[in-house]
Amino acid sequence: MKTWFATYYPSQGATGLEATVLASEKGISIGFRNAEETGQVFWPLRDTVFRLSPDRQRTVISRSGEFSYVEIEGTEAAAFLQQEEEERARPWYRQRGFIAFRWQFRIAIMIIGFFAFLYWVVMPWLADRAAKRIPVSAEIQFGEAMYNALLSDAGEDSNASRLVNEFFDELTVASHYPVRLHVMEGNEINAFALPGGPIVIWTGLLKRLNNYEELAALISHEYMHVAGRHTTRALMRKQGGRIAIAMIFGQTGAVTAALASQAGELHSLSYSRNLETEADTAGARLLLQRGISRQGFTGLFDVLKQEDRGQGVPEIISSHPQLDKRKELISRLPFPPTATEHPQLERIFNELKQRYP
């Protein structure tokens, strides 16, 4: 946008009036005044005609088809109008407006990319770093607070809980956490792990298990979420880094409050694909060390896949990697061709099936 002082001639032979010319890419606005009044006219840029005066010291601008014109001292106005005329003659993709839009678009993409990098890379890194700094004792407290907030009034089958805890004890897993399994009555095809040790299994899922190997696979998978602090890390990511930042700066009170506030989200909490793969792999290795067949995992996946086909996606796999890919991963692990018999595990499982056939 340019501004010049000028002389405006409203008609041929008329007396010149003091004027101010404001030029933009859209047109020329002329404000003038005489002894009696002030006025303003606007000429679209595409309708203007310009030339230099014979002495080449002034720019003369008029509107096509009219006798009015303005005179501006110097050649700057002519250079501006020449530049705008050349701009209009360019292809649309080379015009100034499109080039500016292209730069704005690039900047917008860079900004979006920056925030995507923060969300997908920096925040998970902060969450993992903060999770590693949480003391085991604090994580145990988080888990207890969440269990009390979410499930203290739920219908727990204490006898079934006793059996699955006995089952876990038979697996002889060394852990920093006081692992405690809880069986909740309900038709949900679901199980999840809380920070610090609690593992919750619904009877709807227990009813669909066929053998103790599948129960061992389920429990080992959920236990690995506990041991790997997956639930804590997932909750931190869900909080958008607020918990992670608070933990890094030592604000453990804020961490406790934020984690406890997320208790209601545990039913639908999703782990990343990497965390699920880690839990599958580590859980399968636990079975391998105990001489339990890989068929525990493949059978569990078949049960979940059958439920997926028949009644919609079970909550336990609603955000997990595809079951076929998980089976393929387990099949690549070096299990022996034959498994060790575990009569105690089989006995406990059979007692559970008597309660939930």
**What does the pLDDT look like over 243-272, one tens digit per residue?**
555 555 555 555 555 555 555 455 555 677
- Please give the domain boundaries of the chain with CATH numbers for all domains: 2-89 (2.30.29.30), 117-355 (no CATH)
Q: What is the pLDDT of residue 212?
A: 96
CA distance 305 to 168: 25
CA distance 307 to 301: 10
CA distance 161 to 153: 15
Q: What is the pLDDT of residue 250?
A: 52
CA distance 214 to 293: 9
For the ranges 103-107, 119-123, 172-176, 266-270, the lowest mean pLDDT is seen at: 266-270
Higher pLDDT, 223 or 335: 223
pLDDT at residue 315 above 50?
no
Query: Degrees (nearest 5) of the Cα angle 249, 251, 255?
Result: 115
Per-residue pLDDT tens digits for 117-138: 877 777 777 777 777 778 888 8
The DSSP symbol for 240 reads T
Structure tokens at 316: 């336990």
pTM (two decimals): 0.63
pLDDT at residue 102 above 80?
no
Contacts 24+ apart (CB under 8 A), 149-155: 149/260, 149/263, 149/264, 150/263, 150/264, 150/266, 151/182, 151/184, 151/200, 154/184, 154/186, 155/184, 155/185, 155/186
| Structure confidence at residue 113 as a pLDDT band (50, 70, 90) | confident
Phi, psi angles (nearest 5°) of residue 4: -140, 155
Q: What is the pLDDT of residue 349?
A: 96
Q: What is the pLDDT of residue 276?
A: 87
Per-residue pLDDT tens digits for 200-256: 999 999 999 999 999 999 999 999 999 998 888 887 776 655 555 555 555 555 555
pLDDT at residue 180 above 50?
yes
Residue 345, Cβ density class (10 Å: 0-12 exposed, 13-18 middle, ≥19 buried): buried
CA distance 193 to 176: 15
Higher pLDDT, 102 or 254: 102
| Structure confidence at residue 319 as a pLDDT band (50, 70, 90) | very low
CA distance 122 to 162: 42
CA distance 247 to 295: 41
CB-side neighbour CA atoms (13 Å) of 208: 23
Q: 115 to each of 21, 121, 186, 290, 354, how far by Cα in Å?
A: 45, 10, 41, 45, 53
- In sequence order, the 6+-apart residues with CB closer than 8 A to the CB of 323 are 301, 304, 305, 308, 317
DSSP class per residue in 158-184: HHHHHHHHHHHHHT----SS--EEEEE
Query: Degrees (nearest 5) of the Cα angle 269, 270, 275?
Result: 130
CA distance 258 to 134: 14
| Structure confidence at residue 96 as a pLDDT band (50, 70, 90) | low
Q: Is 47 helix (H, G, I), strand (E, B) or coil?
A: helix
Per-residue pLDDT tens digits for 22-73: 988 888 999 998 777 788 999 998 888 888 998 889 999 999 888 899 999 9
